[in-house]
Amino acid sequence: MPFRIEATSGRARAGTITTDHGEVPTPAFMPVGTVGSVKNIESRELKQLGANISLSNAYHLYLRPGLDTLHKMGGLHKFMAWDRPILVDSGGFQVFSLADLRKVKEEGVTFRSHIDGSAHLFTPEKVIEIQRTIGPDFVMPLDELVGWPAERQAADDAAQRTWRWLQRGLEAFEKSEPLYGHKQILLPIVQGSFYDDLRVREAERLASLNAEAYAIGGLAVGEETGLTRKALDIVTPILPEDRPRYAMGVGTPSDILDAIGRGVDMFDCVVPTRNGRRATLFTFNGRLNMKNAKHATDDSPVEEGCPCPCCSQYSRAYLRHLYVAGEFLAMKLGSAHNLSFYFRMMAEARRQIEAGTFEGWAKVMIPRFGAPEVVEA
């Protein structure tokens, strides 16, 4: 079994996922390295910041550098000099959000590259082949997702197709082998939009597969927070207790802490790096807008005790100056700090679960990040 639950606090779980690239303590946050690089952060910096697993994207890697290059270079781990686990998203989301002229048929989805307009077809089988070549530890099948709001019929159709595509993906997965000597695990994706009965149906039939881990998709597509929470409340109790659960694209610190409390174990989101590039920084006291004039002569670090390259070297005053002057280094320092915060937040969540105090702690923390205004330390 690749997953061991070590403690619970309410519905929150602390565990360990075992892979051929090492162990991942959960709850775990996966930083997003879309094209095989977490923006502005070196692989060894990512380790130092506390990442135990990272995420990349099959759609992007398939288009560039391409499968031939990745295969010749010995797979993504070797290519990006990262020896910890990797999860690769199938690219379904990118096909639906980035590509041009996409057309969904039962066979698969045709689209044109957002880079050069070239025509491509992703089938459930092709997506497995792509991920065998990329070589992540965790493989995602091709799914069809709908945004929100979505008509019930469209949501149902997409969920049904996702189920049929999963059968084909699983068959292709079972008939193929890993290329680089380490085990790969496929995560079925629960779709169903925000229709409760669809979520129940999908969660139940996926649970029956007894997969090694599960993903919950179709979240973080613009819905109200209440809908995300309800979907998680419906799905997580149906999924097998002893398998890790990954909420795709979730999210902000508040959303992650909330979802941990609803039994989710794995997360990914561009929020820490994207916000870091745009001068919004997270601390345990809330959010900071680092361009704010109040920081202009503030000699203190962004967050006391934070071991990141920003807080361990520089003052808020200096970081503000870099953002205001448009210096590249600001994007790096802000991204590194936010990632450090995310990893420290996950570690603290784990400690709170082990102590059985997660619920009370999360109740205090969540509002600090939820306010639309910048909350100052």
Which is nearest to 127 in space by CA: 65, 191, 61, 71?
61
DSSP assignment string, 178-227 = -SSSS--EE--EE--TT-HHHHHHHHHHHHTTT-S-EEE-S-SSS--HHH
Residue 48 binds a second copy (CB under 8 A): no
100-104 and 109-112 beta bridge pairing: antiparallel
Token pair, residue 40, equals 């502005």
Residue 318 binds a second copy (CB under 8 A): yes
Residue 46 binds a second copy (CB under 8 A): no
| CA gap 50, 355 in Å, rounded | 21
Output 252 or 335, the one with its CB closest to a second copy: 335
Nearest-Å Rg of the Cα atoms of the chain is: 20
The interface region with a second copy, picked from 57-65, 188-196, 233-241, 280-288 by CB under 8 A, is: 57-65
Which is nearest to 57 in space by CA: 27, 73, 80, 25?
80
Contact 353, 7 (CB under 8 A): yes
Contacts of 30 (CB under 8 A, 6+ apart): 51, 53, 54, 55, 87, 266, 267, 268
Token pair, residue 308, equals 């990141």
User: Binding string, 79-98, against a second copy, x = CB under 8 A?
Assistant: xxx-----------------
Minimal distance in Å, beta carbon 183 to a second copy? 24
One residue of 19, 26, 40, 123 binding a second copy per CB under 8 A: 40
Token pair, residue 262, equals 């609803």
One residue of 119, 121, 296, 371 binding a second copy per CB under 8 A: 296
Minimal distance in Å, beta carbon 309 to a second copy? 6
Minimal distance in Å, beta carbon 273 to a second copy? 10
Mark whether 242 is an active-site residue.
Answer: no
Q: Is residue 46 classed as helix, strand or coil in its secondary structure?
A: helix
CA angle at residue 72 from 52 to 68, to 5 degrees? 100
Other beta carbons within 10 angstroms of residue 69's beta carbon come to: 12
Token pair, residue 369, equals 């990040």
Q: Which of 20, 83, 89, 143 does the annotation list as catalytic? A: 89
Q: Which of 156, 268, 298, 299 does the annotation list as catalytic? A: 268
Residue 19 binds a second copy (CB under 8 A): no
Residue 322 binds a second copy (CB under 8 A): yes
User: Binding string, 330-369, against a second copy, x = CB under 8 A?
Assistant: -xxx------------------------------------
The interface region with a second copy, picked from 68-76, 88-96, 183-191, 248-256 by CB under 8 A, is: 68-76
Output 8 or 37, the one with its CB closest to a second copy: 37
Mark whether 143 is an active-site residue.
Answer: no
Minimal distance in Å, beta carbon 58 to a second copy? 15
Active site residues: 89, 268
